[in-house]
Structure 1
Amino acid sequence: MLTGPGRRIDVTLSGAKGAEGGDGLLRSAQDDNADIASMSTSGEPRALLPVYAQFPVRPVRGHGSWLVDEEGDEWLDAYGGHAVAATGHSHPDVVRAIVSQAEQLLFYSTAVAHPLRAELAERLASLCPEPLKRVFFCNSGAEANENALHLARKRTGRSEVVSVAGGWHGRTAATLACTDGTRYEEAASRSGIPLSRRVPADDVAALEAAVDGSVAAIIVEPVQGLSGARDLSADFLRAARRICDAHETALIFDEVQCGVGRCGAFSAAEAVGVVPDILTFAKGLASGLPIGAVIATPAVTAGIGIGDLGSTFGGGPVPCAAALATLDVIDREGLIENAVRVGARLARGARALGVRQVSGRGLLLGLHLDRPAALVQQALFDRRIITGTASDPAVLRLLPPLSFSPREADLLLAGLEEALA
């Protein structure tokens, strides 16, 4: 049972060990006067520019689905650092792969070949649906989407892009122009980048009207992240495929957040049964090391030559080692299947608590509440449970590690029950 200020949660989880060899119980953070409703960057030095509003906690260690702060207190992480901690925090196999490769060769650019880069490219090509077989590595999701748009424009000789309302694609120049939100559109406009043609989610008629012979690409998240784990309908995604085929336009699936096993298959494309021309991964691909990947069809990449793409750090030996270890862990530990099972457990439990709607797939879930999600997020934070919010103020977003256990799901649901009381 969850208890009040200064108390501990009366739930013991196997494998959740405290910093001092403790029992892994979560303690209320209310006595710390933590208030995430007024999150700031006040804990950062003045030399750092502000980026995100920050949770008022400083984790110094992590294991599995748990973070350990400076005081030795443990926090259940149901957010995963924006869906990055796919295999859990500091998975031993991933850490060993990083250390081993760093000791051998920390870095060299793509001016030379490296066996791990080649191995990872082949591995990703084998995991993606046919005919997605050509791979380019970069450092982040935004870079992956930027280069996906570049490929589409080069292949088609066109410039216009169609995006979907609620979509988030990054903060680089071209991706800002496709990201929904006034501040992002203004930033793109200041750069002189033309804005995408935005259509409502699941509106096939609007999509058909938006695409013509000037459109290079439709870019879409099969399961939108920031908008609140909105899973676009299979009919809409199939229509996007049909429309792109009719106009010889590239279909881009942004799977930066929803890919790498999070939504019930390795790629969301496989989960929804629609194959794009270009697919992008990042976030969980290397369990926390920076890497992005663009996987495209040979038809899209046919005209690409030396100098058309490039990245100094993309596909470096250490991130590739981490990514290969991540893929091994996902496969060996059955984490895709676990994401499906535990995601269903969370969805059932949330509905049983009166949550009016649960959107998303696997372990990318949006809980649609009857009150501001920030209030529920705060109540969970008071119980040392970290969750996320969305651009929809009534949606609480859950992005835990793919290794999130049934008992950890039950602990999250117990906290949610008290938060909603």
Structure 2
Amino acid sequence: MPKRRDIIKRLSSLPLLGGLALSASPIQSLAGAMKSNPLKYRDYFKELGIRTFINAAGTYTSMTGSLMAEEVVEAIQYASKEYVLLDELQDRVGERIAALVHCEAATITSGAASAITLATAGILSGMDEKKAAMIPHLEGSGMKSEVIMQKAHDIVYAHALRNCGVKVIFVETRAELEKAINEKTALLFFVNANNLEGKIKAEEFVEVAKKYSIPTLNDCAADVPPVENLWKYTRMGFDLVCFSGGKGIRGPQSAGLLLGRKDMIAAARLSAPPRGNTVGRCMKVSKEEILGMLIALESYLAKDHDQDWKLWEGQVSFINDAIKSVQGVQTKIDVPPIANHIPTLNVSWNIKQVKLSGDELKEKLRNGHPSIEVAGGGANSVSITTWMLVPGQERIVASRVREALLKASV
């Protein structure tokens, strides 16, 4: 089996396409392997009657996240052929990841939501196995029972906290936060994507937590890129930080990262498999996913991120140039400030000039050939990203969107 550095060298030497400099594209390399060995691969999705699609939307769970790099697939295949002890593998991989992202400790979880549940469980139980086994039944356990978060941070994924039986207390201001802290407070929970919406920003949130010696957890699920976020928030002072593994890092979709303090990571793992009588027993991560996540992270850290950015910008600009001239259509390219921080093309139109809703455009793209997924929708808009495209697919997306808008034009 080729060494990882040789794979990366081979991938990075791929030719230019459409005048855009390419970084090592995991999708392109995998597609190339399939094309060169057509008899080696069964078209399983076709057999099942499932249509695949061009992903111009993003790393949505409903759209199965991202595509893994060739070296990640090779690592998964390698791991599938050997037995190891699960805890030993988590130990060694956790040590390697902690060194890579400059924190005390790390562990692989079954996604970012799992990381939230396991982190909360560990903070509640500490290293007490009997307490870990009692979660989520906290009454009479001696464990703390409340988690505080800002109202502006109340996202659906916060249900992962409630898996542990805690009551979530909502606040808006620093004064309300300090007033809400009491002897039942186990954790202060922060959603990084909503940092600009809440009145208490990240640095101040950590400051309050340190003042009252309350642990903090920052949910950064979709907050890579930029790569610096992998160590920014632990360095800022958050005790624990979690990331999705199957989004920008391009690891297995069902994997995630929990990073932070060594004692808290150890306590979180007390509720994780292979232990059985815990809230996290249903959150198993296989040896294949654990090793695959490590290799995905190594590959992500080794990438030329500036080159990736230039590629995405060029692709977005190409699509924008193709559709902005359609009468009644307005386009704008921006970059969300935190989560999904990538060039994004927002397309809207005057429905008097283009007789088509956003949802209808999405359906036309989904049902056409090839099938294309974009984000947004509603009355008269969609949004398009290119970071999940195989280089060259931007031309198909541009042509199909333009064609659909033109056909609906009055």
Identity of aligned residues (%): 13
**Alpha-carbon contact 1:19-1:72 (below 8 Å) kept:** no
Inter-partner Cα distance in structure 2 for 1:69 and 1:12: 38
Which runs of 5 or more structure 2 residues have no equivalent in the other structure? 1-17, 23-27, 37-42, 127-141, 275-282, 325-329, 350-356
Structure 2 equivalent of residue 281 of structure 1: 243
State which of 247, 267, 290 in structure 1 corresponds to 2:212: 247
Structure 2 equivalent of residue 127 of structure 1: 100
Please say if 1:354 is aligned against 2:331: yes
Structure 2 equivalent of residue 38 of structure 1: none
Structure 2 equivalent of residue 198 of structure 1: 170
Please say if 1:377 is aligned against 2:362: yes
Inter-partner Cα distance in structure 2 for 1:411 and 1:60: 24
CA 1:369–1:286 in 2, change beyond 3 Å: closer, same or farther?
A: closer
SS of equivalent residue, structure 1 residue 281: strand
Please say if 1:317 is aligned against 2:317: no
CA 1:296–1:238 in 2, change beyond 3 Å: closer, same or farther?
A: same
CA 1:237–1:287 in 2, change beyond 3 Å: closer, same or farther?
A: same
State the shift of 1:68 in Å.
Answer: 12
Task: Give a deviation string over 1:148-193, Cα, whole Å, max 9, x none.
Answer: 11233346953211234354464xxxx4175xxxxxxxxx6xx894
**Alpha-carbon contact 1:94-1:325 (below 8 Å) kept:** yes
Which of these two proteins has the greater Rg computed from alpha carbons?
2
- Deviates further, 90-99 or 337-346: 337-346
State the shift of 1:19 in Å.
Answer: 12
Matching residue's letter, 1:329: S
Please say if 1:104 is aligned against 2:82: yes
Per the normalisation by structure 2, the TM-score is 0.60
SS of equivalent residue, structure 2 residue 297: helix
Structure 1 equivalent of residue 232 of structure 2: 270
**Alpha-carbon contact 2:120-2:164 (below 8 Å) kept:** no
**Alpha-carbon contact 1:263-1:363 (below 8 Å) kept:** yes
**Alpha-carbon contact 1:213-1:247 (below 8 Å) kept:** no
Number of residue pairs the alignment of both structures matches: 332
Please say if 1:75 is aligned against 2:62: no
SS of equivalent residue, structure 1 residue 309: coil
Inter-partner Cα distance in structure 2 for 1:412 and 1:211: 51
State the shift of 1:387 in Å.
Answer: 3.0
Structure 2 equivalent of residue 327 of structure 1: 297
State the shift of 1:18 in Å.
Answer: 9.9
Task: Give a deviation string over 1:279-304, Cα, whole Å, max 9, x none.
Answer: 123342672263333222136468x4
**Alpha-carbon contact 2:117-2:160 (below 8 Å) kept:** no
State the shift of 1:369 in Å.
Answer: 6.6
Task: Give a deviation string over 1:336-383, Cα, whole Å, max 9, x none.
Answer: 445544565677776985349652448445766768754453354355
State the shift of 1:215 in Å.
Answer: 2.7
Per the normalisation by structure 1, the TM-score is 0.59
State the shift of 1:400 in Å.
Answer: 4.3
Matching residue's letter, 2:58: Y
**Alpha-carbon contact 1:19-1:68 (below 8 Å) kept:** no
**Alpha-carbon contact 2:101-2:230 (below 8 Å) kept:** no
**Alpha-carbon contact 1:283-1:291 (below 8 Å) kept:** yes
State the shift of 1:133 in Å.
Answer: 1.5
Q: In angstroms, what is the RMSD of aligned CA positions?
A: 5.0
Inter-partner Cα distance in structure 1 for 2:234 and 2:361: 31
Matching residue's letter, 2:290: C
Structure richer in helix, relative to its length: 2
**Alpha-carbon contact 2:124-2:143 (below 8 Å) kept:** yes
State which of 154, 159, 184 in structure 2 corresponds to 1:176: 159
State the shift of 1:311 in Å.
Answer: 0.8
**Alpha-carbon contact 1:142-1:169 (below 8 Å) kept:** no
